[in-house]
Structure 1
Amino acid sequence: MSANFDAFHQAILQLNPRVTQLEWDYFQQGLTEHTLAPKTFFIEADKPNQLLGFVTRGLIRGYYTTEAGEEMTTIFVSENNWVTDYPSLLMNKPSRYNFQCLEPTTLITVSYGHIQQGYERFVGFERNGRLIAEAILQQQQQRIESFQFDSAEQRYLDFIGQNPDLFNRISLTHLSSFLGIERPSLSRIRRKIVGL
């Protein structure tokens, strides 16, 4: 087993330590390793997404494009994190988002069809799917609540506190879009914090 497959296996075990060897053997049959160059899309807007991905190396940015042509960043996905567009995956509808590599990126993917077959074959397999979905949902909920309850400065502080390894890997333009802060305002917040 490659180191990337092993990282995926460890992520599954971390979510669900009760995974049996039979379940893992089945899961592994559906895994594919991808190496993507910067600017390559893992998921493209207006196309259905049928893959659940796990990043073992690199960085992906999720975003949508407004009617005015502005790119609005919704997520950054780095090593040891899950990546997919769940509404597109579950409903077999075109994605509304682009997921584009910012760095050379290695992913392990599994198709939703393979996961569904696992649900039918193994009683405990649904637990894996539920726990992965919960991990992604928690991340999305945290982002929604940050816009509802936190100031721009607090969103910035939370981001750098929770993602210290990402800070020097993403542009200020992408970061300001993700935080919902105009770039000049983000620069002012950064200067203020450095001056404290």
Structure 2
Amino acid sequence: MKEEFKQYIASYLKLFPHSSLEELEILRTQLIIKEFDKKDFFFSSGEIQRNMGYVCEGLLRRYYINEKGNKITTGFVRENQYATDYPAFIRQKPTKYFMECLEPSIIIELSYENIQEGYKKFKNNEKYGRLTAEYVLTVQTDRVESFLFENAEQRYLNFIDRNPDLINRISLTHLSSYLGIERQSLSRIRNKIAKK
């Protein structure tokens, strides 16, 4: 079994330590490991995402293109997180987003069909799906509320606090887009904080 499989199964077992051998063996046979180069796309706007992705190595960003043709970053996905547009994935509808690799990445994939089959067959799979949905909902709600209740500096400080490992892995352009501010404004915020 490859190291990536072991990593995925280990993360699954942390949540469900009493999983049966049958359950783990079926899961192992359904997982697909894929390698992506920097700038490769895990999925693109207009596609139906057929496979859920679990990032073993690497970093991706989710973005959409607005009416002016600008790429607006809506999230970053790093190791031990899911690469998905979850609402579109669970409905098997075309996504409006692009998921691009910012670094060479190793992603474990599990198909929509196998996920649905697992829900019917194993209680743990249903619970895993619920936990995934809750995580995605929390991340999306936190992002929306940051724009409603925080100023740009607070959004930046909270991002740094929650993602200290990402600050040296993403460009200021992508970060400023994610924070909803101009790059020059982000530079001013960073300089102001550095002087404190």
Counterpart residue type for residue 29 of structure 2: Q
Residues 94-129 of structure 1, C-alpha deviations (whole Å, 9 max, x = no match): 110000001100000101100101112223321111
Give distance in 2, aligned partners of 1:19 and 1:149: 42
User: How far off its partner does 1:151 sit?
Assistant: 1.3
Equivalent residue runs for 1:135-154 within 5 Å: 135-154=135-154
Three-state SS of the structure 2 residue aligned to 1:46 is coil
Counterpart residue type for residue 142 of structure 2: Q
Q: What is the TM-score of this pair, normalised by structure 1?
A: 0.95
Equivalent residue runs for 1:54-133 within 5 Å: 54-133=54-133
The 1:15–1:146 alpha-carbon spacing in structure 2 relative to 1, beyond 3 Å, is farther
Residue 160 of structure 2 is matched in structure 1 by 160
Counterpart residue type for residue 40 of structure 2: T
Unaligned runs of 5+ in 2: none
Give distance in 1, aligned partners of 2:97 and 2:179: 17
**1:37 has 2:37 as partner:** yes
Residue 169 of structure 2 is matched in structure 1 by 169
User: How far off its partner does 1:132 sit?
Assistant: 1.6
Counterpart residue type for residue 175 of structure 1: L
Give distance in 2, aligned partners of 1:7 and 1:37: 20
Q: What is the TM-score of this pair, normalised by structure 2?
A: 0.95
Counterpart residue type for residue 47 of structure 2: K
Give distance in 1, aligned partners of 2:152 and 2:141: 17
Does structure 2 conserve the Cα–Cα contact (< 8 Å) formed by 1:153 and 1:189? yes
Aligned residues: 196
User: How far off its partner does 1:19 sit?
Assistant: 3.0
User: How far off its partner does 1:30 sit?
Assistant: 1.0
Does structure 2 conserve the Cα–Cα contact (< 8 Å) formed by 1:16 and 1:131? no
Give distance in 1, aligned partners of 2:62 and 2:84: 9
Residue 49 of structure 2 is matched in structure 1 by 49
Fraction of identical pairs, as percent: 47
Residue 188 of structure 1 is matched in structure 2 by 188
User: How far off its partner does 1:149 sit?
Assistant: 1.2
Aligned alpha-carbon RMSD (Å): 1.2
Does structure 2 conserve the Cα–Cα contact (< 8 Å) formed by 1:27 and 1:115? no
Does structure 2 conserve the Cα–Cα contact (< 8 Å) formed by 1:15 and 1:131? no
Give distance in 2, aligned partners of 1:123 and 1:163: 32
Counterpart residue type for residue 127 of structure 1: K
Give distance in 2, aligned partners of 1:138 and 1:33: 27
